Amino acid sequence: MTDEIASITPIPVCRYEELTPGRGVAVLLPDGSQAAVFRTFADELYAVGNLDPATGAYVISRGLTGSRGAVPTVASPMLKHVYELASGRCVDGPAGPEPACRLPTFPVLRDNGVVYVLDDPAIPATHDGGKS
């Protein structure tokens, strides 16, 4: 962890074992917005926005994880847009990739068995799967 990151208060999500591999959970952020935290089958952690930009519903956490090549993804349960978990980019959808639809990403940490997200848009997401 860099000093910069340490200066932000991490938001506790839940204990790591509570996360089901291959699924996500919804997280309420202090400002009222929502994040979706995923644990993949490979036991990596990712956090993206919970709002599905294609439909305006807060449902991304209920999507199915998967992969495109070796890149982990989540498919929105609404219209099946597929987003890269690390970058938030929309790489597939009913009419192909939609660059205009993009999920925000959040750094996610695991410390002493507890999972945290960091909510500060000034911080670039680490995209390392949160294995800190």
Partner 1 sequence: MRILIVGYGMVGHRCASVLAELAAAQPTHGQDGHADPVTITVLSKEARPAYDRVHLTSLFSGSTHADLSYEDPPGIDVRLGEEAVALDRAARTVRTTSGAELLYDVLVLATGSRPFVPPVPGHDLPGCFVYRTVDDVDAIKQYAAERGAGAIGAVVGGGLLGLEAAGALSSLGLNTHVIEFSPRLMPLQVDDAGGSALRRRITELGVTVHTGTRTEAVHAGPEGAAAEMLLAAGHEPTDQRTLGVDLVVFAAGVRPWDALGREFGLELGERGGIRVDAHCQTSDPRIYAVGECAQALDGRVYGLVAPGYTMAETAARHILGLDSTPFHGADLSTKLKLLGVDVASFGDAFGTTAGARSTLYVDENEGLYKKLVVSEEGRLLGGILVGDASAYDVLKPLAGTDTALPGSPIQLLLPPSDGEAVSLGVGSLPDSATICSCHNVSKGALLEAITSEGCGTVSALKSCTKAGTGCGSCVQMLGKLLDAAGVEQSTALCPHFPQTRAELYEVVLVRGIDTFTRLLAEHGAADADPEGCEICKPAVASILASLSGRLGGPKHILSGEQAALQDTNDHFLANIQNNGTYSVVPRIPGGEITPEKLIVIGEVARDFGLYTKITGGQRIDLLGARVEQLPAIWRRLVDAGFESGHAYGKALRTVKSCVGSSWCRYGVQDSVRLAIDLELRYRGLRAPHKIKAAVSGCARECAEAQGKDIGVIATEQGWNLYVGGNGGFRPRHADLFAKDLSEAELLRAIDRFLMFYIRTAERLERTATWIERIEGGLEHVRDVVLSDSLGLADELDALMRAHVDAYADEWRSALDDPDTLRRFVSFVNAPDTPDPSIKFSTEREQIRPLLSIGRRPEPAVGPAGDRKDLVNAG
Q: What residue ranges bind partner 1 (CB under 8 A)?
A: 11-14, 18, 20-23, 25-28, 32, 34, 37, 40-42, 51, 53-59, 62-70, 72-73, 75, 77-80, 82, 94-97
Q: For 12, list phi and psi in degrees, rounded to 5.
A: -65, 140
Nearest to 75 by CA among 91, 87, 56, 95: 91
What is the Cα–Cα distance from 108 to 125, expressed in whole angstroms? 8
Cβ proximity to partner 1, 79 vs 123, nearer residue: 79
Helix (H, G, I), strand (E, B) or coil at 40: coil
Closest approach, Cβ 45 to partner 1, in A, equals 13
Cβ proximity to partner 1, 63 vs 105, nearer residue: 63
Nearest to 83 by CA among 46, 123, 34, 44: 46
Closest approach, Cβ 27 to partner 1, in A, equals 5
Cβ proximity to partner 1, 5 vs 79, nearer residue: 79
